A and B are shown apart, each in its own frame.
Chain A
Amino acid sequence: MTPTDFLQKLQDSTLGVALSESIYMYPIVEGLHLISLVFSFGLILLTDLRLIGLFLPAVPVPDVLQKLRPWLISGFVVTFITGFLLIFVNGPTLMNTWVFPLKLLLILIAGLNAVWFEIKFGRRVNEWGHQVKSPQGAKIAGWISLTTWTLVVICGRLIPYLNGH
């Protein structure tokens, strides 16, 4: 089954049809997707800026990471759920452009970076997080995170322009 076939199946499913046929569901889902970016994209920007040393540099890193974490995770949960629903509605046209698979790839890279950071630095954050400067690897993870998530947003915005609509 090709990706296009799979997307067609999603669009033809009960959920896909219900979402497509409602006047309000698409604006609601897309609106929520965008608003949730404040919690996901926004808070991850602040977290990355802390790792890099540009935001609240005097505050211990564990403080920022741990206190923002529940909000960050919730933000990503909503962004991902609404994102999935948008895939259901948009269906096979998503494959008309390379921008959509690229967006998924960038999300994967951002996720892997987050896992790498968590394993290598996150778990020991209390050891290094109280110093003025973060370890180089943590800073790099911050930059990668910031860049990839920004590129994800850019790709997302490009989709409707390049998928033939």
Chain B
Amino acid sequence: MSTFAFFQALQNSEIAVGIGQSNHLYGVVAQVFHITGMVLILASVLVVNLRLLGAGLVNQSVPQLVKATNPLIWIGLLFILFSGIFMFAPSAALYYPNPAFWLKFQLLALAIVVQFTLYRKITATKKPNRALAITTAIISLALWFGVGIAGRAIGYVAA
């Protein structure tokens, strides 16, 4: 099955049709959870990356900040995943031709890869190499904020 066919099948599924026909205010609830999830993830990643850059909560160690923000990142991911599926499913096939949609998910894939490799490695060290810390922070922030910007662009970019 091609990707497009899969998107169409998803859009035509009973659940997706049900969501699509529901009161539009449910969509608003989904969007609010999506925004809140994004803010939780990004604020957490921001605090840790600022620390890697030598700014913000400088009296705390990087591992300490990672430990404190991890629960917030998980909650944010939960919010964003469920609300994202809720918003995506009823219009899946409509998103297919949207370049901003694909850009967002490519950036997201990169952000997640960096999060579990470079970011995880650098933040586990109590005194990471300065240049590596700064590089990691820049890449992590650029990718995550890129996801947010691309995500917002989806609504603006004509398919």
Contact = CB atoms under 8 A, between A and B. Distances in A.
B47 interface: yes
Contact of B28 (A37, A55, A59, A158): A158
A157 B38 CA distance: 14
A42 B46 contact: yes
Nearest to B51: A67
B81 interface: no
Interface residues of B, number: 31
B111 interface: no
Given A55-B68, A67-B57, A157 B31 contact: yes
Contacts, number: 79
B112 interface: no
Interface residues of A, number: 27
Interface string A106-119: 00000000000000
Given A35-B148, A37-B35, A56 B60 contact: yes
A125 interface: no
Contacts of A35: 145, 148-149, 152
The secondary-structure label for the interface of chain A is helix
B59 A38 contact: no
B25 A153 contact: no
A84 interface: no
B24 A46 contact: no
Interface string B32-62: 1001101110110011001000011111100
B156 interface: yes
Interface in A11-46: 27, 30-31, 34-35, 37-39, 41-43, 45-46
Best-buried of B39, B59, B145 by chain A (most CB within 10 Å)? B39
Contacts of A59: 57, 59-60
A43 B72 CA distance: 12
A55 B24 CA distance: 34
6 contacts: A27-B152, A27-B156, A30-B152, A43-B46, A64-B57, A71-B56
Interface of A: 27, 30-31, 34-35, 37-39, 41-43, 45-46, 55-56, 59, 63-64, 67-68, 71, 150, 153-154, 157-158, 161
